[in-house]
Amino acid sequence: MALRVNDSDARLSLDSRETLLDALRDQLGLQGTKKGCDQGACGACTVLLDGKRVLSCLTLAAQCDGREVTTVEGLAPDGDMHPVQEAFVRHDAFQCGYCTPGQIMSAVALLKEGRAGSDEEIREFMSGNLCRCAAYPNIVAAIRDVAGQEESHDAGL
């Protein structure tokens, strides 16, 4: 099968039962995407599939044939952090960091979805991403910060 991952083509030979998460981590060496629960409950494995967030532990790699996958590595291809990554650092939005790649991928998608209108909305649309370290207030603050920057930019400020 052929995948486009982070703007590069990848050809893989896979068991039809293999998940996208395992294909990314074990076959392509992209270990930024984390395996937490491996059953769709924690959000640590969130990636973008054709620009929309999916849980890669619940997505078969074979379903992604010919489609575009973006992982956390793809947000900073030249080493310059994505604005959401910068905001997470600025707001100290992590402790152990295990959930962070999934939080960041979900946050990138949420901003594109236009779901960052209020703290309540951010909390609701980030509710599939759990953080055992309970960094939630700082995660919300980081997302709100980027949403505010985008609004200022759109308003030409």
Cβ proximity to ligand FES, 55 vs 147, nearer residue:
55
The enclosing H or E element of 10 equals: strand 8-11
Cβ proximity to ligand FES, 98 vs 150, nearer residue:
98
Q: Minimum distance between the CB of residue 47 and ligand FES, rounded to whole angstroms? A: 10
Q: Which residues bind ligand FES (CB under 6 A)?
A: 35-38, 40-45, 55, 57, 94-100, 131-133, 135
CA dist list (Å): 134 to 58, 96, 107:
24, 10, 16
Which residue type is seen at 137?
Answer: P
Cβ proximity to ligand FES, 38 vs 150, nearer residue:
38
* Cβ atoms < 10 Å from Cβ of 106: 25
Cβ proximity to ligand FES, 3 vs 135, nearer residue:
135
Q: Minimum distance between the CB of residue 107 and ligand FES, rounded to whole angstroms? A: 13
Question: What six digits make up the tokens of 88?
Answer: 């997470």
Q: Minimum distance between the CB of residue 119 and ligand FES, rounded to whole angstroms? A: 18
Q: Minimum distance between the CB of residue 73 and ligand FES, rounded to whole angstroms? A: 17
The enclosing H or E element of 46 equals: strand 46-49
Note the Cα 16 to chain centre separation in Å.
24
Q: Are 83 and 149 in contact (CB under 8 A)?
A: yes
